[in-house]
Amino acid sequence: MFSSFVPNQYVPSIYKINLLELKEKGIKSIIVDLDNTLVESDRKDATPLLIEWLQHTQHLGFQVMIVSNNNETRVSEFAIPLQIPFIHKARKPLSSSFRRALIELETDPNCTVMVGDQLLTDVLGGNRIGLYTILVVPMSKTEGFFTKVNRRVERLVFRWMDKRGLLAREGNKDL
C-alpha cells in the first residue's frame, strides 16, 4: 500500500543530488517542486546558490521545469525571471500535470526525474507515472494548512518505510 510513496532517493537538499549520476542513468529532464524544495515557501526570489545550481543543471544538458500546486502569481513571479517553464495549480499527485510536463519537455518518464519535498504530492505523483523520484528535506518549517496535514500522514509513511529499511538516506545520516 505505501510502496507508491517510496522515493528512489532521499537527500538533504537539491544541492546534494548527484547530477552526473542522473545523467549516467539517462535522465535528461528534471521536474521540480517550488516551495520548500527550491526555496523556502516564504521566499519570493531565487537565491544566488539556487541560480548557480540551475545554471549548472542546464550546463550539464538537463531541462528543468517547475511543477507546483501553488497559484499562478507565486509560481510565475519566481520562474519567469529565471526563464524556467512552469505549471501552476498542478493538483499533484494527480497525473495530468506530470503528463503535461512530459509533453512540454518533449521527454518520457524513463528520462525524467521528479524532485520535491512531499511524499503525498511529489513522490506519489512522480511514482504513479513511472518517474525517478527524489525526496528532499523541506527547506523551511513554514507551511500552509494542507501541507501541515500532509506532513502528519507522511510521518506514518516514514515509520512504515523505516521499519522495512526502504528509505535510503543519502548525504546525511541525520535525515
pLDDT tens per residue, range 117-155:
999 899 999 999 999 999 999 986 666 666 666 666 677
Cα 112 versus chain centre, distance? 11
What's the Cα-to-Cα distance from 106 to each of 21, 77, 85, 99, 103, rounded to whole Å?
22, 24, 13, 10, 5
pLDDT value of position 151: 66
Encoded amino acid at 110, one letter: N
Of 120 and 48, more confident: 48
pLDDT value of position 173: 38
Per-residue pLDDT reduced to its tens digit, 66-80: 999 999 999 999 999
Q: Using DSSP, state whether 87 is helix, strand or coil.
A: strand
Per-residue pLDDT reduced to its tens digit, 2-27: 678 889 999 999 999 999 999 999 99
Per-residue pLDDT reduced to its tens digit, 89-101: 999 999 999 999 9
Of 96 and 1, more confident: 96
pLDDT value of position 169: 53
CATH code, residues 2-164: 3.40.50.1000
Q: How many CB atoms lie within 10 A of CB 14?
A: 24
What end-to-end distance do the CA atoms of the chain give, in Å? Answer: 23
Domain borders along the chain are 2-164
Buried b (16+ CB within 10 A) or exposed e, 48-80: eebeebbeebeeeebbbbbbbbbeeeebeebbe
